[in-house]
Structure 1
């Protein structure tokens, strides 16, 4: 069963700057839930509150392994592209950007779709520039 309220509360903690509390709550949810869809969501958001890019990559890869809904694919591939870019693995970053590209057209109009499309543009530009710097905001959330 999706624990949307708990996930949302933990994500909000992370967005407000309390990444440690968010990480603790999301890790507890990861340990508690057993359905693929919920674990995918939790892993994707756990990636966002990691301090090290390598740890972020690990969680994003876990989320991709668990994905059961194509609506998450553009966000997951975008996150992975950004992870690999920051780890200076530019070829792998480019592969994930290309994997995200066909899914962009399926994104809904509105805030979520706009954030992902904008993130795609920002990661594409950073990749083209050879930048390994963290972007101002997470490109997929």
Structure 2
């Protein structure tokens, strides 16, 4: 079988997510949020769980209010529990759903901390720490590990401010 024949089929939803995320990284968070919300509506509340997980995760990153961000972070985590490695790998062969959980729990810990819900935040820090070893020791893994340390320290200090490295900074 040729490499082209074994490559996953193009995923227009994920291509549109990538475009929206890029738009947000370039400073247009409102435009990125609008694009992602359109994608969410297209996928639907009960659509493909992999798509819902990824879209909700990125909507949370461009949502200005912590209460609404929490809703999107919870949606992302719930959708991650509904999808599979097989589905993730159909998008990219290197993906495993287990690798999503440290970041998803960390995002929940961080937003709960900012809301002053420190005990709930601590529970998600524990979930993050329990799953952190599935992450590679690369730039992404280092980023999540460092953010975990930062969130953990801020919870201990009962600091509800926005972290400097947060998408909300």
* TM-score bracket for this pair, using the shorter chain length: over 0.9
Confirm or deny that 1:133 pairs with 2:146. no
Moved over 6 A (4+): none
Distance 2:126 2:142 in 1: 18
Q: Specify the alignment match of 1:41 in structure 2.
A: 54
Q: What TM-score do the two structures reach when normalised by structure 2? A: 0.78
Unaligned 5+ segments in structure 2 are 1-10, 84-96
SS at the partner of 1:109? coil
1-structure distance, mates of 2:166, 2:23: 15
Q: Which residue of 1 aligns with 2:134?
A: 106
Equivalence for 2:65: 52
Q: Which has the larger radius of gyration?
A: 2
The answer (yes or no) to whether the contact 2:109–2:122 under 8 Å persists in 1 is yes
Structure 2 matches for 1:1-16, cutoff 5 A? 1=11, 3-16=13-26
- Kept in 1, the 8 Å contact 2:113–2:160? The answer is yes
**Whole-angstrom distance in 2 between the partners of 1:97 and 1:44:** 17
What runs of 5+ residues in structure 1 fail to find an aligned partner? none
2:109 aligned residue: 81
CA RMSD of aligned residues (A): 1.3
TM-aligned CA deviation for residue 32 of structure 1: 1.2
**Greater displacement, 68-77 / 88-97:** 68-77
Check conservation: 2:98, 2:134, Cα contact below 8 A: no
8 Å Cα contact 1:57-1:83 kept in structure 2: yes
How many pairs are equivalent? 139
Residue 2 of structure 1 and its aligned partner are, at CA, apart by 6.3
